Amino acid sequence: MKYTRIILAALAAVPVFLSAQTDYSATEQNEPNGSISTDCVYQLWQIDGDSLGSVSQVSFPVTLTLPLNSAVQLTIVHTPALSKANDIYDKNYRTRAKHDQMKINGLSDTWVQGTYLFPNNVAMLNLGVGVPTGKTRLTNNQFDLARQLSLNLFRYQVPIYGQGFCGRAGGAASFPMGKTAVAGVGGQYLYRGKYHPISYTYAYPGLVGPATPYDPEYKPGNEVTAQAGLDLLLGEKFKLMVDVEYTAYQRDMLGGKEVFKSGTRSLASVGLYRQFDQRFFMANVRYRIKGKHEFLDSLALNMQTSTRNLLGNQIEADVVFKAYAFRDGGFFIYGDLRVYDKNEYDTDGALAVGGGIGFQFPLGETVSGDFRIKFLGGNVKSPLTRNLLGMDAGIGLKFLL
């Protein structure tokens, strides 16, 4: 079936909605010699009254896709980034507070993945390793900045710089159901190695003596993910996509002791895709639920299940419309909606809505470029309501090998 490879690709990796500059129908096209793509992405988010002021990131994602033969493909992804908390302007005193130490500049981890596609596109296997090239041993100020970068709401290109050696193995299989539907199932196991996330020294006020170093060894829990999906043709150029995903986490270790276990994550998504000659419209809505976490009770000295949930339910919607098409390119309009419920501590609720435009354009027979920019606004409730503004812009190049 025409869309078998698409559903396999969606199941073989963690589902991520394609960015607005990407033509979804291009998934069917082959690039037998591979490609190199690179971007320069600028992202900025500001929350009124936040202690960090505005947080910006400039990232440079690079992706190498190299088919080794008709069935095996190698993919390498690396994303250096420059992140910082910008100056805070105090309207009452008309001064600016500096965040000189709240900067994280450097490399991210490098992901190397191989994918094997079975004959007739009925199944695929993938193996990958996360090479620990990213920045670790953050200072306490950098760690505060990293926590802001890792929030789902902002979708920073580099939410985490370094997290030690990782390895993953997964696969997916598709099952045609007549002429109008394809079902698929998939799974993935993610191994996380030990690393040192922070490193700093501290001293208690009034005490004489050297500062105490703090450089703990941390081992995040491994992850197991199961996925299922259904693609249904509603017409010759109209498709419905339904996907579900469930992830369970093992316990995190700090200094060899169990300290935390993330709650399970359930994700359901529904997508619509409509082709109009060389143009298309695509919408995708995701609903995410997180279970309660476990933590080390310092008094009982054992793991306890939290009575409250750290994360509320989350709804995200993305829309892409290729409004105008020309040879090897086009003009895109896209929109975003992100709605996060408050958690059971009555914090971390959020609403962000916005959109933007994008262009794809040829620069030669083997080179293409794209530009996109989005603006978003809304509020956060943590627990007081504060205004939120964001911008996401990028320009990229793709070279066919």
User: Mean of the per-residue pLDDT values for the chain?
Assistant: 87
Distance of CA 342 to the CA centre of its chain: 21
Whether pLDDT at 162 is above 80: yes
CB crowding 374-394: b at 16 or more within 10 Å, else e: bebebbbbbeeeeebbbbbbb
Q: Which domain holds residue 394?
A: 4-400
pLDDT at 206: 64
The number of folded domains in the chain is: 1
Between 5 and 67, the higher pLDDT residue: 67
- Note the pLDDT tens digit of each residue in 253-301: 998 899 999 999 999 999 999 999 899 999 999 999 999 999 888 776 7
What is the pTM for the complete model shown?
Answer: 0.87
CB-count exposure of residue 125 (10 Å: 0-12, 13-18, 19+): middle
State residue 50's pLDDT score.
74
Residues 35-51: tens digit of each pLDDT: 999 999 999 999 987 76
Surface-to-core class of residue 152, CB atoms within 10 Å of its CB (0-12 exposed, 13-18 middle, 19+ buried): middle
For tokens 């196991």, name the residue: 189
> Is residue 78 pLDDT above 60, yes or no?
yes
Amino acid code (one letter) for 83? S
Residue 207 has a pLDDT of 64
CATH code, 307: 2.40.160
**Which structure tokens are listed for 345?**
């501590």
Q: Are 45 and 55 in contact (CB under 8 A)?
A: yes
Phi, psi of 146 (to 5 degrees): -65, -35
221-264 residue pLDDT tens: 999 999 999 999 998 899 999 999 999 999 999 988 999 999 99
